[in-house]
Amino acid sequence: MTHLPANLQAYGNCPSTNLQGANLQGLDLQGCNLRGANLSGANLSGANLSGADLSGADLRRINLNHANLSHANLSNTDLTGADLINANLSKANLYRSDLQRANLERADLNHAFLIEAQLLGTRLRRANLNNAQLSRARLDGARLRGTDLSHADLQEVSLNRANLTFAKLHKANLQGARLIGADMRGINLSLAQLIDADLSGALLVAANLQGANLQNAKLFRANLSDAILEGCNLDDAKLSRAYLSGANLKNTTLNRAEMTEVILLRACVQEAELCHALLNRAYLNEADLSGAILNDANLSSANLTRVNLQGAQVIATRFEGSLGIDETLRDDLSQRGALVMLLPRYPDLPMLGQTGLETLCQINEAKDNIVRRYDDLNEALQAFRRIIEFVKGAVQDHPRLALPEPCQFDQEHECFRTLIRVEQENIFAHLETVYNGELQQWLIEQYPQELDAVHDNIQQLSWLTYVFHELWTSLLDWIDSEGYDCDLPED
């Protein structure tokens, strides 16, 4: 045990002291003044530092495992690489502290003050951040799997590429937060505030966003397959090219939302409000829009094959060039006030004829759409490969988990990539041989089937990626419960 300075022993007052590398394990330092002290590399595991003043201290690589830091002042401290596993930091002041690469797994940060703190790459798995204040904090790349952030203040926080799988953010305030590319599978964001938040490219498969406020949020190319969005406010949200296959959007408001090329395959959009929403080239195959309010919405060139529009309000709704609308549905929509228009005539192209021009425009759009969907399929395949490679590498690195036979996924992955490319080429080659009179029939009958096949593959890959991630997190939980002394990485 390191000999303590006299002032610290007698009065608990020793600011700016040098205790670098000291062994202070289990000591009672409650209420001590260690402001500006150098405790880098010191061992204070199990120590009682409740109410202590450590503001401005150098705490790099310090061991505070199971330490009591409740109500402590840790503002402006350097805690990079610190071990705070199972530490009690409830109501601690960590204003502008540097916690980069620190380990706070299972730490108690209930009501902690972390405004403008630096937590890049920090491990917070299963930590308790209930009611914590984290506005303007930086948590890019942080590991927050299973973390409780319910009721937390996360306004303008940066969580780009963070791992938030299965995290709890019920009633959390994420207004203006940046969550670009974040992994949020299985997250609970019910009743959360996400106004002006940026979730572009985020993975929200099977997420719970019931009653959340996502007004003016950016969800460009986000994956919300099978997500619960019932009762959400998505007015003015940006959802272009987002995936919402199988999602529940019942009673959701999407007024003025930008949803160009959005995927709503088999989605439930019952009684949702989509006034003035932009849904051109949207994929709504088998979607349920019964009772939805679509007044003044734009569904030009959208795919409406087998869509349910029973009882939907379609006053001044544009269905220009939309697929899947037969004569019966067209007449019904027109009687209800919809604008089911043909494409405008072009006087400088008289040789094509009106029908030929419409078909040509639709074929070109279909080709562009197929290219983009196959790009999405390739991305889904890459995401699946990443989780496979991650699990493979981690398992092989640990003898207890090593596989007897190496995985042959690389060859299968390349084979699937080749099949994707060949299938796309075959579709385009087929279109070159189809006569003009048969192109319209291809658009109505085969084109939806081709897109269905691509979307089904994307959904299956996304689901497999989700399942593999769950298996991996279950393995981590098992390792924790068995108490094995091996540091398995997180995805």
pLDDT tens per residue, range 246-302: 899 999 999 999 999 898 988 999 999 999 999 988 989 889 999 999 999 999 888
Q: Please say whether the beta carbons of 340 and 316 come within 8 A.
A: no
Which of 62-66, 156-160, 195-199, 402-406 shows the lowest per-residue confidence on average (mean pLDDT)? 402-406
Question: Would 234 be classed as within a structural domain?
Answer: no
CA angle 82, 85, 86 (to 5 degrees): 140
Is residue 37 over pLDDT 70?
yes
Q: Are 172 and 189 in contact (CB under 8 A)?
A: yes
Q: Which two three-digit tokens encode residue 385?
A: 């490969």
Please report, for the domain that includes residue 88, its CATH number: 2.160.20.80
Tokens of 139: 């948590």
The closest alpha carbon to 308, from 266, 341, 259, 256, belongs to 266
User: Nearest CA to 372 among 281, 303, 441, 463?
Assistant: 281
- How many domains is the chain partitioned into structurally? 2
- Of 66, 92, 118, the last residue of a domain is 118
% of the chain beyond a pLDDT of 90: 55
- Residue 209 domain-assigned? no
**Tokens read off for 420:** 């994707």
The pLDDT, as a whole number, for residue 50 is 97
pLDDT of 397: 57
41, pLDDT greater than 80:
yes
Tell me what pLDDT residue 277 has: 97
Domain finish residue from 84, 118, 152: 118
| Residue 237 maps to a domain | no
Statement: the pTM of the whole predicted model exceeds 0.95: no
Of the candidates 68, 103, 118, which is a domain's last residue?
118
Phi and psi (nearest 5°) for 153? -95, 105
220 in a structural domain: no
How many of the other CB atoms lie within 10 Å of CB of 445? 11
Confirm whether 358 is domain-assigned: yes
417 within some domain: yes
- What average pLDDT does range 337-366 have in this prediction? 58
Of 466 and 220, the structure prediction assigns the larger pLDDT to 220
Query: Over the stretch 72-122, which tens digit does the pLDDT of each residue have?
Result: 999 999 999 999 999 999 999 999 999 999 999 999 999 999 999 999 989
Q: Is there a domain that residue 407 lies in?
A: yes
**Which of 206-223 are b and which e, b meaning 16 or more Cβ less than 10 Å from the residue's Cβ?**
bbbbbbbbbbbbbbbbbb
pLDDT per position as a tens digit, 178-189: 999 999 988 999
Report if residue 201 sits inside a domain.
no
Domain span at residue 6? 1-118
